Structure 1
């Protein structure tokens, strides 16, 4: 492995989960010599998550690889214009353009045959369906792990889904993307379309939407590449 040209990594988790699922990747990145910061998103509005990410970026002592999973892709698209961001890594993620919302992207593609996202409740909160959780979101996880992930899920608000980004960092920053072969949350057709539009350097990996939890090596290899270490 070459000497690190970027030594800081900031990871932005997706909806319905917190940053703890990234601990295996965190440990590997630390072993490679990176300083790693994991953002804990409020998932209440896009701006709230962007603000949390910008606060993390402000604390870095140099250039950053900014990583976003799923909904986190929308967040890093907006926050990634930060001066310290050297490159972006989209992990099974949404990649909107300026003027687009996450919902706009979802509605631009066919609905998945098995769709685990429930309609918003009376408080405007969106959850995942328990019966479909393992098949769509926690593919590849043990039943015990999947059950824990379901019971600890963090809802996303309708507001966050409909908030539009105002800038697209991928237009000015080198962008990398990971496309899992069995993603049951983000439509692979949409995923490929977004990655192609953003001219991402795409890596396909075997696994589901949260593959990085049990195969952190695949995610870390792409982050290493984005950091100029491969």
Structure 2
């Protein structure tokens, strides 16, 4: 092929590719009506566990932020979460895993919050706390290997962490999660919800069917009480790490449903 002709073909091809990429980017561009996603972690872990969910959301064109809660008390964690909410440009969908569900239930009354997504999480009612919700476990339910408090903080038995918290996570990662636990303040467990956000805002709930930290029957009962849209997937308590696609899909469903109501 003549050089000049080849150049024209190449230029046409490149232009077409650029236009295709541009069109694809536009297709995935954030809907102006779509709320931002704020991801809230639970006890014993930090926000880094959301990495794969975060990457999927960003790749699909959604705005996402991650909260790093100190997990020292419910009041402290709600304050940190609300600062992240305040930093978002528009509305927000709060996503909470485990104890993070308590945080979003309390912080979700913020006017900017438009919806809640619970991932294998506590969804307490008024006056309830983690402490009150786990006081009377379902008969036969696994008992989380929580060690006695040390200076007002809790840890899971490191030798039993993987089996109890992250049974379906890559063993090396699960062991690292156990070795890098974040101290969970007893005051965070006893912090009671004053006004549950799910009573006035739409919610979604992902039940982890193999959870050994929060029994699936308890998850189903809390999600039903909250009137949440529920999906169930096979997964451990760390389902947000082991099943990021399923978790991200539910979050995106929630965001899209809220955005659609604004159109």
Smaller-chain TM-score range?
over 0.9
User: Which secondary structure does the structure 2 equivalent of 1:228 belong to?
Assistant: helix
Unaligned runs of 5+ in 1: none
* Of 151, 158, 179, the match for 1:130: 158
Q: Name the Cα RMSD after superposition.
A: 1.8
| Shift of residue 121, structure 1, vs aligned partner | 2.3
Contact 1:6–1:65 (8 Å) recurs in 2:
no
2:54 equivalent to 1:21: no
Structure 1's 137 and 112: CA in aligned 2 closer, same or farther, altered over 3 A?
Answer: farther
Contact 2:147–2:156 (8 Å) recurs in 1:
no
Structure 1's 38 and 186: CA in aligned 2 closer, same or farther, altered over 3 A?
Answer: same
**Superposition pairs of residues 4-153 of structure 1, within 5 angstroms:** 4=31, 5-110=33-138, 113-153=141-181
Give 1:174's aligned residue: 202
Contact 1:133–1:150 (8 Å) recurs in 2:
yes
**Partner Cα distance (2:140, 2:148) in 1:** 18
Contact 1:39–1:53 (8 Å) recurs in 2:
yes
Give 2:23's aligned residue: none
Count of aligned positions? 230
* Of 191, 198, 213, the match for 2:241: 213
More helix by share: 2
Rg (Cα) greater in structure: 2
**Partner Cα distance (1:97, 1:80) in 2:** 13
* Of 228, 231, 237, the match for 1:200: 228
Give 2:18's aligned residue: none
Unaligned runs of 5+ in 2: 1-26
Greater shift in the superposed pair: 220-229 or 197-206:
220-229
User: TM-score if structure 2 supplies the norm length?
Assistant: 0.83
